[in-house]
A and B are shown apart, each in its own frame.
Chain A
Amino acid sequence: MGVRRVMGIETELGITSTQLDPAGRPVTPMVLSGQVVRAYAAGAAPGAALPSGAGWDYADETPLRDARGFEMARALADRSQLTDVEDPTIATSVLSNGARFYVDHAHPEYSSPEVTGPLAAVRYDRAGEEVAWGAVRTLAEEELEVRLYKNNVDGKGASYGTHENYLVPRAVPFDRLARLLIPFLVARPVIAGAGRVGIGQASERPGFQLSQRADYLEAEVGLETTLRRPIVNTRDEPHATPHLHRRLHVIVGDATMADVTTYLALGSLSAVLRVVETHPELLEGMPLAHPVAAAQAISHDPSLQVTVPLADGREMTGLDLVEAHLEAAERAAASGHEPWTGPEDSETEGVLRRWRDVLDTLRRDPSQAAGQVEWVAKHQLLERFRDRAGAGWDDPRIAAMDIQWHDLDPGRGLARKLRAAGQLERLVTPEEVAAAVTEPPPDTRAWFRGEAVRRYGAAGGVRAASWDSVVLVDDRGGLRRVRMDEPTSGSRAAVAGLLDRHTSAASLLSELASEDV
């Protein structure tokens, strides 16, 4: 185990277009996002996606259940929180790699399939970039112009999310989880930030900061994701056997395009979660006096020198905080405690070594980490431009480059160009990413979901899917839900034989009905 656990990343994409409607008004981002989702299903290889009209199965969604043990009254909820109501105008599609590609409010969103480690999370996050870019290319063939940006802010006050999900044992008390995670989530942008031009929610002050999201944090713990954004989100929607698992929904992270940054973001947080589970005492003693203010202070200082006060009066830098968590993970890993060992633990050593390497480099000379840490890479490019052009941080060309960094068009996006030029280290090859666009991860229920889409599709009787079920049509036209409450059920090892024996969903259901699967 170690850093291995079920995890995934959801990314809302920024979207722009010059399209006008018949009345000459700009086409709304909701309609544009619908075009993107429809276009992917239309333009992808046969079997790569259910058509965007096919339903998402909302039966198990509980967006208003709170991990602290109560449920918010629907009437008190902001409309944007009601994500479980099916709206026929909202496009959604299930992909053969097990992902969901859909319209969330005014953005296209790619929710990666469930994977079991940070390297696979990187691969399926990059696959999401290719899915989105594939949709843009299909639209271009239809002479519909759309641009997609993998970032989290527009610089004018709006923010949209990149959410990480981690499966955590229900037995870990939520208040302990929240309390022990806050200091790490506050400091993590030092190794995991994407960088941002402008300080303040609407870029009121010129400057550069580490994190896209720090200025949008307003609370320590809470249920909301769209207003009063908390450092720890309490949504209790496990998409898994509820008495065994929680899904920790982390909403403070940045969308990242540098492989090592994404890898360290998820690898380090999964390691810290494991410490919370096995050695919580190693993380005691780091509570911050003012977590929200600390997140902003750390983000606003690319020199990494600023200190923030702890509750006990000590002062630590962001690097100190990240290192203290790394040391806790190193000590826990060295303990030989069962969850840190065993054949499933093949990624932990690599994550801890890489984390140490990047941290030491940042301490010595942050600019030397430009191939690994995204905010450093962006900062370096912008500083070079500033030197050449004599431009200040308030120059519109700097703001334009910050946006352009995240363009998913490989011919325009600055991060994609640096990656192609070998200046952002790759952990996954383009070939591995291309395969992950259509092939599901083998070791979770995403395999059954994705393979059902690929092999049978809508014509072969796949009606809908959700994270924990697939709805199939039986031989009498009835709907039957195949449940997969355990995220590691439905894996290739468990169900490949079953799928190999059947050429339609109805046929597969007849076998399921005749024996206990």
Chain B
Amino acid sequence: MSQQHFEGRDRESERGGEPGPDPTPPPTAPAAQSAERDAALDSLLDEIDGVLESNATEFVHGFVQKGGE
């Protein structure tokens, strides 16, 4: 098999890609944030309650993996 090489010759390419974001969010009032959060958690828990009630033991017992890496 013959070979070809690309050299790392293009400095421009090393700077391409990511635009350099500022991902820090605007602050929210902690109290409002946690009330909203509790409501979201309760809504998620209401949704999964029934499913958990019926099959949690079997589901956990059946989740068996082989080691990896």
A320 to chain B, nearest CB (A): 23
Q: A421-B40, A483-B3 are in contact. Are A399 and B17 (CB under 8 A)?
A: no
Q: Which residue of B lies closest to A225 (CB)?
A: B69
- Return 22 A-B CB contacts under 8 Å, by A number: A104-B68, A104-B69, A107-B68, A117-B18, A155-B60, A155-B63, A160-B66, A226-B67, A226-B69, A353-B22, A354-B23, A380-B37, A381-B44, A395-B56, A403-B60, A481-B1, A481-B2, A481-B4, A484-B5, A486-B7, A487-B8, A513-B4
Complex Cα distance, B12 from A332, in Å, reads: 25
Contact with B53, one of A117, A381, A397 (Cβ below 8 angstroms): A397
A492 to chain B, nearest CB (A): 7
Q: Which residue of B lies closest to A484 (CB)?
A: B6
> What chain A residues lie within 8 Å of B68 (beta carbons)?
12, 104-107, 109, 158-161, 226
Complex Cα distance, B53 from A109, in Å, reads: 32
Complex Cα distance, B20 from A485, in Å, reads: 27
Contact between chains at A488 and B67 (CB < 8 Å): no
A90 within 8 A of B: no
Contact between chains at A80 and B69 (CB < 8 Å): yes
Contact between chains at B21 and A350 (CB < 8 Å): yes
Contact between chains at A401 and B24 (CB < 8 Å): no
B16 to chain A, nearest CB (A): 4
Complex Cα distance, B44 from A396, in Å, reads: 18
Complex Cα distance, B13 from A24, in Å, reads: 54
Contact with A494, one of B6, B22, B62, B63 (Cβ below 8 angstroms): B6
Contact with B65, one of A160, A422, A443 (Cβ below 8 angstroms): A160
Contact between chains at A403 and B3 (CB < 8 Å): no
> What chain B residues lie within 8 Å of A366 (beta carbons)?
none
Contact between chains at A163 and B23 (CB < 8 Å): no
Contact between chains at A370 and B37 (CB < 8 Å): yes
Contact between chains at A414 and B21 (CB < 8 Å): no
Contact between chains at B65 and A154 (CB < 8 Å): yes
Contact between chains at A494 and B13 (CB < 8 Å): yes
Complex Cα distance, B6 from A471, in Å, reads: 13
Contact between chains at A493 and B45 (CB < 8 Å): no
Contact between chains at A396 and B60 (CB < 8 Å): yes
> What chain B residues lie within 8 Å of A397 (beta carbons)?
52-53, 56
Contact between chains at B4 and A119 (CB < 8 Å): no
B5 to chain A, nearest CB (A): 5
Contact with A443, one of B17, B30, B38, B53 (Cβ below 8 angstroms): B17
Contact between chains at A119 and B23 (CB < 8 Å): yes
Quick one: CB contact mask for A106-124 with B, threshold 8 Å, 1 for yes? 1101000001110110000
A16 within 8 A of B: yes
Complex Cα distance, B39 from A303, in Å, reads: 24
The interface stretch among A39-47, A292-300, A340-348 is A340-348
B64 within 8 A of A: yes
> What chain B residues lie within 8 Å of A172 (beta carbons)?
none
Contact between chains at A106 and B18 (CB < 8 Å): no
Contact between chains at A399 and B56 (CB < 8 Å): yes
> What chain A residues lie within 8 Å of B17 (beta carbons)?
115-117, 120, 441-443
> What chain B residues lie within 8 Å of A509 (beta carbons)?
4
Q: Which residue of A lies closest to B62 (CB)?
A: A16
Complex Cα distance, B9 from A104, in Å, reads: 34
Quick one: CB contact mask for B17-58 with A, threshold 8 Å, 1 for yes? 111111111000010011001101111110110001101110
Q: A106-B66, A486-B7 are in contact. Are A396 and B13 (CB under 8 A)?
A: no
Per the 8 Å Cβ criterion, residues 158-172 of A in contact with B are 158-161, 163
Q: A488-B13, A489-B8, A493-B13 are in contact. Are A350 and B3 (CB under 8 A)?
A: no
